[in-house]
């Protein structure tokens, strides 16, 4: 059971992960959670991912944090579980690896792995942000769906010799990678909610791009980089950005910091801290159609906000297609609600 943190932080009792999830991430999760029999399908896919074996591997080859080993980091994961109101504090392992990285693994009993490279790179409050980010993945249940992505990536590699099968799988993988990137934006927000220190969160993201020499970096200059990356010089840069994003499971650091800064500026962070957020016991009331519209709206707002010339060229075409898709979705939803053979009323 999560216990009280070492300094006063706002506890977000019964908070639903929907409070911090990016609309595109939230829409996908609500749809998947609503599928009957999904848990059984996942159990079958989990045969490709032995959670028990992985935990034993880290138990044998890494350091499990507790009151005696890395006690400060143990406090960070304990505090994150307290703030996000988890029933159980996840296990956390420190793995010897100079590459800065962290991940949440598992579905029935998720745990967190943080590399020594990340521990050495970040200061205490920045570490707190990263640990909270991973606890956010656990609360959202992202590990379940990420397992599917890993399984499909392996399958796509195996059928690469068969062009038609590969093209179909590659399209699914590309869609899952886009969701994966949005889930990272979600959990940057979760990390901020747990550490409740916006400057520390921004420092952590900057260090992931530029290393430990924080005195040589500047948040405003880094945000200028984000704006320049977004704008691009001409349509060719827009195509290049699409190409370099393929295969990426994480948004680039400048994008992550800009998105987190925007989320803070629009007031969502402060509203949650004051208690204005959806509760876990209302998750079953979430409607797929509403979340789908919210996801579409978030993409539309991003298209309208961007200065990317490629997006500007495609904006009208995509918006028209989205409107048509929305009408088709609403029609199918009406048919599903009314059942076969029933007619909708005007």
Quick: pLDDT tens for 127-162: 999 999 999 999 988 876 666 666 666 665 565 555
Residue 290 class from Cβ within 10 Å (0-12 exposed, 13-18 middle, 19+ buried)? exposed
- Give the Å distances, CA to CA, from 206 to 217, 222, 228, 344: 8, 8, 16, 53
* pLDDT for position 49: 55
In this prediction, residues 8-24 reach a mean pLDDT of 91
Tokens of 249: 């499971």
305 is a domain residue: no
Total structural domains in the chain?
1
In this prediction, residues 205-222 reach a mean pLDDT of 96
Are the C-beta atoms of residues 77 and 89 closer than 8 Å to each other?
Answer: yes
Are the C-beta atoms of residues 16 and 279 closer than 8 Å to each other?
Answer: yes
Give the whole-angstrom CA distance, residue 116 versus residue 94. Answer: 6
224 is a domain residue: yes
Q: Model confidence at 2, in pLDDT bands (50, 70, 90)?
A: low
Q: Active-site positions?
A: 134
Are the C-beta atoms of residues 28 and 180 closer than 8 Å to each other?
Answer: no
340 is a domain residue: no
- Give the Å distances, CA to CA, from 97 to 84, 116, 128, 258, 333: 28, 6, 19, 28, 49
pLDDT tens profile 169-202: 556 666 677 778 888 999 999 999 999 999 999 9
Q: Model confidence at 341, in pLDDT bands (50, 70, 90)?
A: very low
11 is a domain residue: no
261 is a domain residue: yes
214 is a domain residue: yes
In this prediction, residues 113-132 reach a mean pLDDT of 98
Tell me if residue 63 falls in helix, strand or coil.
strand
- For the chain, give percent helix, strand, coil, nearest 5: 70, 5, 25
* pLDDT for position 91: 96
Q: Domain span at residue 194? A: 17-237+246-281
In this prediction, residues 96-100 reach a mean pLDDT of 97
Give the whole-angstrom CA distance, residue 132 versus residue 224. Answer: 27
337 is a domain residue: no
Least confident of 181-190, 231-240, 251-260: 231-240
Give the whole-angstrom CA distance, residue 123 versus residue 109. Answer: 28
* pLDDT for position 346: 38
Give the whole-angstrom CA distance, residue 313 versus residue 315. Answer: 6
In this prediction, residues 224-249 reach a mean pLDDT of 78
Mean pLDDT of the chain: 79
pLDDT tens profile 38-96: 555 555 555 445 677 888 999 999 999 999 999 999 999 999 999 999 999 999 999 99
Least confident of 132-146, 224-238, 254-268: 224-238
Residue 29 class from Cβ within 10 Å (0-12 exposed, 13-18 middle, 19+ buried)? buried
Nearest 5°: the CA angle 171, 172, 178 is: 90
DSSP secondary-structure letter at 231? H
Tell me if residue 92 falls in helix, strand or coil.
strand
Predicted model pTM: 0.77
In this prediction, residues 208-213 reach a mean pLDDT of 96
Strand partners, 143: none
267 is a domain residue: yes
Are the C-beta atoms of residues 93 and 112 closer than 8 Å to each other?
Answer: yes
For residues 283 and 321, the model is more confident at 283
Report whether pLDDT(222) > 60: yes
> 251, 264, 294: which is closest to 18 by C-alpha?
294
* pLDDT for position 343: 42
Are the C-beta atoms of residues 235 and 154 closer than 8 Å to each other?
Answer: no
The position carrying tokens 């490279």 is 117
* pLDDT for position 146: 65
| Residue 167: partners with Cβ closer than 8 Å, 6 or more residues away | none
* pLDDT for position 344: 40
Tokens of 300: 């539309």
* pLDDT for position 105: 85
């Amino acid at each position: 059971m999560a216990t009280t943190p070492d300094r006063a932080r706002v506890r977000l009792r019964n908070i639903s992960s929907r409070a911090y999830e990016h609309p595109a991430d939230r829409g996908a999760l609500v749809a998947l959670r609503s599928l009957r029999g999904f848990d059984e399908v996942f159990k079958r896919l989990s045969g490709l991912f032995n959670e028990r074996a992985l935990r034993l591997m880290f138990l044998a080859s890494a350091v499990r944090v507790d009151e005696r080993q890395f006690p400060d980091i143990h406090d960070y994961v304990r505090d994150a579980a307290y703030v996000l109101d988890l029933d159980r504090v996840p296990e956390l392992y420190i793995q010897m690896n100079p590459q800065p990285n962290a991940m949440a693994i598992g579905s029935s009993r998720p745990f967190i792995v943080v590399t020594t490279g990340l521990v050495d790179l970040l200061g205490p409050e920045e570490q707190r942000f990263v640990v909270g980010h991973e606890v956010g993945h656990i609360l959202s249940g992202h590990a379940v769906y990420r397992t599917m992505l890993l399984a499909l990536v392996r399958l796509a590699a195996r059928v690469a010799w068969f062009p038609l099968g590969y093209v179909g799988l590659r399209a699914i993988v590309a869609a899952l990678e886009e969701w994966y990137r949005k889930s990272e934006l979600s959990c940057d927000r979760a990390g901020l909610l747990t550490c409740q220190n916006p400057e520390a969160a921004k420092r952590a993201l900057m260090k992931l791009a530029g290393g430990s020499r924080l005195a040589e970096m500047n948040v405003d200059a880094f945000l200028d980089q984000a704006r320049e990356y977004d704008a691009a010089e001409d349509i060719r840069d827009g195509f290049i950005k699409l190409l370099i994003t393929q295969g990426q499971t994480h948004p680039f650091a400048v994008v992550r910091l800009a998105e987190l800064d925007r989320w803070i500026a629009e007031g969502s962070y402060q509203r949650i801290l004051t208690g204005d957020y959806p509760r876990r016991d209302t998750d079953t009331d979430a409607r797929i159609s509403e979340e789908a519209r919210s996801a579409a709206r978030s993409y539309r707002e991003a298209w309208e906000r961007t200065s990317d010339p490629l997006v500007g060229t495609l904006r009208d075409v995509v918006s028209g297609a989205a409107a048509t898709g929305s009408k088709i979705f609403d029609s199918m939803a009406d048919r599903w609600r009314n059942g076969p053979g029933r007619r909708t009323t005007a």
